[in-house]
Structure 1
């Protein structure tokens, strides 16, 4: 078995770089570590951190194809973030006109959670600690 230490990062390719950059930084609260424009590829790469931990690489590429995401398509199902107050966070997202699904309760853990989407429809989850 491999001797894995931790998850290093998650890479996300977006369709509208500036819209996604605003969403991940101003709505979700990620901080920018580094932003690079790669002229040869006509591509941006934005390194983002949460709580000072590097975790997302946001990419833009020209003419990217859409990925099937629903219903229950193969591949990444969703990206989940833990929160301490689910209702407060849902209200914040709704104040920014972001559609949030009704809060559910995990039948095994009893924990509350909900889903919303990034600007490209990537399903994101808030899971209450």
Structure 2
């Protein structure tokens, strides 16, 4: 049976979703956007700063579940402009050790609230 995970260390879910769900040994985060835990949206910030905030949010949600970034198996990165890939990747690589998880990075037409990046992860105990 799935359980929801919520923390005040990441932006609150503002729709019909949870920050993360857990079933068995797996934790699935919702897409984390570049918003601070108090809700400040960093939509006008450079993609590097947006990526850092989104990954900080992923890390906070996983932390609530007792997990770390080293427990991540798969990450999906959504970019509203694929030309931002290198800038995102430079920040992203600092969050994982020398054995990073599998990752997909896709360019999408538009992301919520005019943001440049959204990141979701799957982790395991």
Under a length normalisation based on structure 2, what TM-score does the superposition of the two structures give?
0.29
